[in-house]
Amino acid sequence: MDLDSDLFDEEEQQQSSFELATNYVSGQADKLKKSDLLDFYAYYKQAAEGGCNQPCPSILQMQARSKWNAWKALGDMSQADAQRAYIEKLQQLNPNWREECGKSKGSSWAVHSIELMPEEELMPEHKKTLFDLVKEKNLSALRHKMKASDANAKDDNGMALIHWATDRNAVDIIDFLVSSMGASVNELDLELQTPLHYAASCGHVEGVRTLLKLKASLELNDNDGNSCFDVADSKEIFNMLKAEEQQRQAAN
């Protein structure tokens, strides 16, 4: 009983310290480096919800994607360990934080949700472009509205429809664009990234599998010289790419 009681007291003390730390960080958000805020955000989300189970935000939501990547990088770290990591990081940055706690007004940067309502969902149907339809994964409407000449059209950000379909992990649309509309499975964006770069870096297993079935190239590098292997989000995806590479080499 004493051991159980001691354990409970430790957990209660850690929870109290964690809540105190999050309140302090919220009040200091405008004074902390972005990299530190990302770490705090990731530890907070891990402590509150466990491992990242949300879809990768749009490529254009850069802050949201940075936060998602930071959280996802924690993998299966336990919630208790995430609480400890949060407190330890704050202790390293400012050993006197406990004494200063409560002096600053709060800010929600470190704790607000990643999820934002996509703008295309607020748009009237008649104003939606092909890109809007892809972003909301509306294959039925896309079939009715799209022409073959639209297959490799790009938006103002240099992204083709297949880039957006891959970003949203809309595998049925990826297949439709390539197999039915003639879109290039290796279409390049402004950063010379292919759809396979997108799928691999976002951890979209089904997207990677679909693109490989459509014979996406494994050899193309982006502006930074990175291949799909280099940007692979997980060991599972890297192994998928490696297995495909070996299979293709054996077939030649």
pLDDT digits (tens, 9 = 90+) for 54-95: 777 766 666 777 888 889 889 889 999 999 999 999 999 999
Q: Are residues 61 and 170 in the same domain?
A: no
Looking at residue 10, what DSSP letter applies? H
Question: What is this structure's pTM?
Answer: 0.59
Q: Is residue 181 part of a domain?
A: yes
Structure tokens at 103: 């002096």
Q: Are residues 126 and 209 in the same domain?
A: yes
pLDDT digits (tens, 9 = 90+) for 165-184: 998 889 999 999 999 999 99
Domain limit, last residue, from 42, 73, 100 = 100
pLDDT digits (tens, 9 = 90+) for 17-48: 888 888 888 878 778 888 888 899 999 989 88
The candidate with the shortest Cα–Cα distance to 164, out of 56, 23, 250, is 56
Compute the distance between CA of residue 5 and CA of residue 77 in angstroms, rounded to an integer. Answer: 25
pLDDT digits (tens, 9 = 90+) for 121-146: 556 777 889 998 998 899 999 999 99
The angle formed by the CA atoms of residues 15, 18 and 23, to the nearest 5 degrees, is 130
Number of H helices, E strands in the chain: 12, 0
pLDDT score at 111: 43
Q: Are residues 90 and 136 in the same domain?
A: no
Mean pLDDT of the chain: 84
Q: What is the CATH number of the domain that holds 95?
A: 1.20.80.10
Domain span at residue 52? 2-100
Q: Is the pLDDT of residue 13 over 70?
A: yes
When divided into structural domains, the chain yields a total of 2
